Amino acid sequence: MAEVLVLVDHIDGEVKKVTLELLTAARRLGEPAAVWIGPGLENAKDKLAEYGAAKIYVAADEELTSYVVAPKVELLAKLVADKSPAGVLVAATGEGKEIAGRLAVKLDSGVLTDVVDVAEGFVGEHSIFGGAVIAHAKVKRGTPIVAVRPNAVAPEPAPATPAEEQVSVTLSDAAKAAKIVEKVVQEKGERPDLTEAAVVVSGGRGVGSAENFKIIEDLADALGGAVGASRAATDAGWYPHQFQVGQTGKTVSPQLYIAVGISGAIQHRAGMQTSKTIVAINKDPEAPIFELVDFGVVGDLFQVAPQLTEEINKRK
Ligand X SMILES: Cc1cc2nc3c(=O)[nH]c(=O)nc-3n(C[C@H](O)[C@H](O)[C@H](O)COP(=O)(O)OP(=O)(O)OC[C@H]3O[C@@H](n4cnc5c(N)ncnc54)[C@H](O)[C@@H]3O)c2cc1C
Applying the rule CB under 6 A, the residues between 104 and 163 that interact with ligand X are 111-113, 126, 128, 137
Among 39, 46, 82, 141, binds another protein (CB under 8 A): 141
Q: Are 282 and 295 in contact (CB under 8 A)?
A: no
Q: Residue from 249, 251, 292, 308 that binds ligand X (CB under 6 A)?
A: 249
Among 34, 48, 88, 270, binds another protein (CB under 8 A): 270
Answer yes or no: are the C-beta atoms of 243 and 258 closer than 8 Å: no
Q: What Rg, from alpha-carbon coordinates, does the chain have? A: 21
Among ligand X, another protein, none, what does residue 1 contact (CB within 5–8 Å per kind)? none
Residue 189 near another protein by CB under 8 A: no
CB atoms within 10 A of CB 33: 24
Q: Is 315 in the site for another protein (CB under 8 A)?
A: yes
Q: Which does 205 bind (CB under 5 to 8 A by kind): ligand X, another protein, none?
A: ligand X
How near is the Cβ of 266 to ligand X at its closest, in Å?
7
DSSP 3-state of 268: helix
Q: Is residue 270 marked as binding?
A: no
Q: Three-state DSSP class for 288?
A: helix
Q: Which does 287 bind (CB under 5 to 8 A by kind): another protein, ligand X, none?
A: ligand X
Residue 86 touches which member of ligand X, another protein, none, C-beta under 5-8 Å by kind: none
Single residue of 163, 180, 210, 284 touching another protein by CB under 8 A: 180
**In terms of CB distance, is 32 or 206 closer to ligand X?**
206
Q: Are 261 and 301 in contact (CB under 8 A)?
A: yes
Exposed e or buried b per residue across 71-107, where buried means at least 16 C-beta atoms within 10 angstroms of its C-beta: bbbbbbbbbbeeeebbbbbbbbbeebbbbbbbbbebb
Burial class (CB in 10 A: 0-12, 13-18, 19+), 180: exposed
Kindly state whether residue 80 participates in binding ligand X, applying the rule CB under 6 A: no
HSE-up (13 A, CA, CB side) for residue 266? 4
Q: Please identify which residue in 1, 62, 159, 285 interacts with another protein, judged by CB under 8 A.
A: 285
Cβ-based nearer residue to another protein, 95 or 165: 95
> Which residues carry a binding-site annotation?
205, 230-231, 244-248, 261-268, 282
